[in-house]
Amino acid sequence: MTQPNKVLATFQVNGEPHEVAFLPHKTLLEVLREEMDLTGTKHGCELGECGTCTVQIDGTPVLSCLVLAVDAVGKDVQTVEGLAQGAELNPLQHCMADLGAAQCGYCTPGVLMAADALLRDNPKPTRDEIKEALAGNLCRCTGYIKIFEAVELAAARMRGEDAQPSKESIYGS
Protein backbone atom coordinates (compact mmCIF):
# COMPACT_ATOMS: atom_id res chain seq x y z
CA MET A 1 0.00 0.00 0.00
CA THR A 2 2.38 2.67 -1.16
CA GLN A 3 1.09 6.19 -1.25
CA PRO A 4 1.28 8.11 -4.54
CA ASN A 5 3.29 11.30 -4.59
CA LYS A 6 1.72 14.53 -3.48
CA VAL A 7 1.12 17.29 -5.97
CA LEU A 8 1.93 20.90 -5.26
CA ALA A 9 -0.54 23.46 -6.52
CA THR A 10 -1.86 26.93 -5.88
CA PHE A 11 -5.56 27.42 -5.31
CA GLN A 12 -7.45 30.69 -5.46
CA VAL A 13 -9.78 30.57 -2.51
CA ASN A 14 -11.82 33.59 -1.51
CA GLY A 15 -9.54 35.70 -3.64
CA GLU A 16 -6.35 34.58 -1.93
CA PRO A 17 -3.70 32.20 -3.24
CA HIS A 18 -3.10 29.04 -1.18
CA GLU A 19 -0.15 26.88 -2.08
CA VAL A 20 -0.61 23.34 -0.80
CA ALA A 21 0.81 19.86 -1.30
CA PHE A 22 -1.82 17.13 -1.37
CA LEU A 23 -2.42 13.60 -2.59
CA PRO A 24 -3.96 13.67 -6.06
CA HIS A 25 -7.02 11.63 -5.10
CA LYS A 26 -8.07 14.11 -2.43
CA THR A 27 -11.31 15.97 -2.88
CA LEU A 28 -11.62 19.71 -2.77
CA LEU A 29 -13.52 19.27 0.50
CA GLU A 30 -10.60 17.46 2.09
CA VAL A 31 -8.01 19.90 0.85
CA LEU A 32 -10.02 22.93 2.00
CA ARG A 33 -10.58 21.49 5.45
CA GLU A 34 -7.38 19.60 6.07
CA GLU A 35 -4.71 21.47 4.17
CA MET A 36 -6.02 25.04 4.31
CA ASP A 37 -7.83 24.82 7.66
CA LEU A 38 -10.96 26.29 6.04
CA THR A 39 -13.25 24.21 8.20
CA GLY A 40 -16.30 26.38 7.54
CA THR A 41 -17.13 23.97 4.73
CA LYS A 42 -18.78 20.91 6.31
CA HIS A 43 -19.38 17.30 5.40
CA GLY A 44 -22.44 15.19 6.08
CA CYS A 45 -21.90 12.24 3.78
CA GLU A 46 -18.96 12.76 1.40
CA LEU A 47 -21.11 11.09 -1.23
CA GLY A 48 -22.89 14.04 -2.78
CA GLU A 49 -26.12 13.54 -0.86
CA CYS A 50 -26.45 16.31 1.70
CA GLY A 51 -25.17 19.63 0.35
CA THR A 52 -23.33 20.64 3.54
CA CYS A 53 -20.07 20.78 1.56
CA THR A 54 -21.38 23.27 -1.02
CA VAL A 55 -18.85 25.84 -2.22
CA GLN A 56 -18.78 27.94 -5.37
CA ILE A 57 -16.42 27.38 -8.27
CA ASP A 58 -16.41 30.29 -10.68
CA GLY A 59 -19.67 31.41 -9.11
CA THR A 60 -21.51 28.10 -9.49
CA PRO A 61 -22.46 26.07 -6.40
CA VAL A 62 -20.81 22.64 -6.40
CA LEU A 63 -20.50 19.80 -3.93
CA SER A 64 -16.88 19.96 -2.88
CA CYS A 65 -16.94 16.31 -1.80
CA LEU A 66 -17.46 15.33 -5.42
CA VAL A 67 -14.81 17.59 -6.91
CA LEU A 68 -11.22 16.42 -7.12
CA ALA A 69 -8.99 19.12 -5.72
CA VAL A 70 -6.79 19.01 -8.80
CA ASP A 71 -9.79 20.02 -10.89
CA ALA A 72 -10.26 23.19 -8.85
CA VAL A 73 -6.73 24.45 -9.43
CA GLY A 74 -6.76 27.66 -11.42
CA LYS A 75 -10.42 28.30 -10.72
CA ASP A 76 -12.04 30.81 -8.45
CA VAL A 77 -13.16 28.95 -5.32
CA GLN A 78 -15.44 30.69 -2.83
CA THR A 79 -16.21 29.29 0.60
CA VAL A 80 -18.35 30.52 3.48
CA GLU A 81 -15.31 32.20 5.00
CA GLY A 82 -15.27 34.57 2.03
CA LEU A 83 -18.84 35.83 2.31
CA ALA A 84 -18.33 38.53 4.91
CA GLN A 85 -16.71 41.79 3.87
CA GLY A 86 -14.01 41.99 6.48
CA ALA A 87 -15.78 41.94 9.81
CA GLU A 88 -19.13 42.89 8.27
CA LEU A 89 -21.54 40.07 7.49
CA ASN A 90 -23.22 40.18 4.09
CA PRO A 91 -26.99 40.82 3.95
CA LEU A 92 -27.84 37.15 3.59
CA GLN A 93 -25.76 36.27 6.65
CA HIS A 94 -27.41 39.06 8.61
CA CYS A 95 -30.89 37.85 7.72
CA MET A 96 -30.05 34.25 8.55
CA ALA A 97 -28.74 35.38 11.96
CA ASP A 98 -31.74 37.60 12.67
CA LEU A 99 -34.35 35.00 11.83
CA GLY A 100 -32.63 32.11 13.58
CA ALA A 101 -32.23 30.32 10.25
CA ALA A 102 -29.09 28.70 11.59
CA GLN A 103 -30.10 26.40 14.41
CA CYS A 104 -27.27 23.94 14.83
CA GLY A 105 -25.56 25.77 12.00
CA TYR A 106 -24.12 22.68 10.40
CA CYS A 107 -25.98 22.96 7.10
CA THR A 108 -25.62 26.73 7.17
CA PRO A 109 -22.38 27.20 5.21
CA GLY A 110 -23.70 25.03 2.38
CA VAL A 111 -27.06 26.77 2.40
CA LEU A 112 -25.36 30.16 2.32
CA MET A 113 -23.22 29.25 -0.66
CA ALA A 114 -26.17 27.89 -2.62
CA ALA A 115 -28.41 30.84 -1.77
CA ASP A 116 -25.67 33.37 -2.44
CA ALA A 117 -25.28 31.99 -5.96
CA LEU A 118 -29.03 32.09 -6.46
CA LEU A 119 -29.28 35.73 -5.44
CA ARG A 120 -26.49 36.69 -7.78
CA ASP A 121 -28.34 35.15 -10.73
CA ASN A 122 -31.83 36.02 -9.63
CA PRO A 123 -32.29 39.10 -7.45
CA LYS A 124 -36.00 38.46 -7.00
CA PRO A 125 -36.52 34.74 -6.62
CA THR A 126 -39.95 33.29 -5.90
CA ARG A 127 -40.47 30.89 -3.00
CA ASP A 128 -40.48 28.02 -5.48
CA GLU A 129 -37.24 29.15 -7.06
CA ILE A 130 -35.64 29.32 -3.63
CA LYS A 131 -36.86 25.81 -2.83
CA GLU A 132 -35.48 24.59 -6.12
CA ALA A 133 -32.10 26.20 -5.52
CA LEU A 134 -31.87 24.72 -2.00
CA ALA A 135 -33.33 21.31 -2.87
CA GLY A 136 -29.89 19.73 -2.55
CA ASN A 137 -29.13 21.18 0.88
CA LEU A 138 -30.61 19.04 3.62
CA CYS A 139 -31.35 20.71 6.93
CA ARG A 140 -32.65 18.65 9.83
CA CYS A 141 -33.28 21.51 12.25
CA THR A 142 -35.22 24.35 10.72
CA GLY A 143 -37.86 22.84 8.48
CA TYR A 144 -36.31 25.23 5.93
CA ILE A 145 -38.91 27.93 6.55
CA LYS A 146 -36.66 30.39 8.35
CA ILE A 147 -34.08 29.80 5.62
CA PHE A 148 -36.60 30.66 2.88
CA GLU A 149 -37.66 33.75 4.79
CA ALA A 150 -34.06 34.83 5.29
CA VAL A 151 -33.29 34.47 1.59
CA GLU A 152 -36.39 36.48 0.67
CA LEU A 153 -35.57 39.18 3.20
CA ALA A 154 -31.97 39.40 2.05
CA ALA A 155 -33.05 39.56 -1.59
CA ALA A 156 -35.36 42.47 -0.83
CA ARG A 157 -32.67 44.30 1.12
CA MET A 158 -30.11 43.70 -1.59
CA ARG A 159 -32.55 45.26 -4.05
CA GLY A 160 -32.46 48.30 -1.80
CA GLU A 161 -35.86 47.80 -0.23
CA ASP A 162 -36.36 48.60 3.42
CA ALA A 163 -37.76 45.14 4.13
CA GLN A 164 -38.61 43.70 7.55
CA PRO A 165 -39.55 40.15 8.46
CA SER A 166 -43.30 39.59 8.65
CA LYS A 167 -44.91 39.55 12.07
CA GLU A 168 -46.25 36.02 11.48
CA SER A 169 -42.81 34.66 10.72
CA ILE A 170 -41.54 35.78 14.11
CA TYR A 171 -44.53 35.69 16.45
CA GLY A 172 -46.77 33.22 14.66
CA SER A 173 -50.25 33.77 13.31
Q: Which does 65 bind (CB under 5 to 8 A by kind): another protein, ligand FES, none?
A: ligand FES
Among 103, 113, 109, 116, residue whose Cα is nearest residue 144: 103
Q: Identify how many contiguous H helices and E strands the chain contains and give both numbers.
A: 7, 5
Under the binding rule (CB under 8 A), the answer on residue 41 touching another protein is: yes
Out of 19, 104, 122, 166, the only residue in the binding site for another protein (CB under 8 A) is: 104
DSSP tag of 81: G
Distance CA 1, CA 145 (A): 48
Which 126-155 positions form the footprint of another protein (CB under 8 A)?
130-132, 134-148
Q: Which does 27 bind (CB under 5 to 8 A by kind): ligand FES, another protein, none?
A: none
Query: How far is residue 88 from each of residues 20, 91, 94, measured CA to CA in Å?
Result: 28, 9, 9
CB of 82 to ligand FES, least distance (A): 19
CB of 166 to another protein, least distance (A): 11
The packing angle between helices 145-158 and 108-121, to 10°, is 40
Under the binding rule (CB under 8 A), the answer on residue 169 touching another protein is: yes
- Which C-beta is closer to ligand FES: that of 12 or that of 103? 103
Given the rule CB under 6 A, which residues bind ligand FES? 43-46, 48-53, 63, 65, 102-108, 139-142
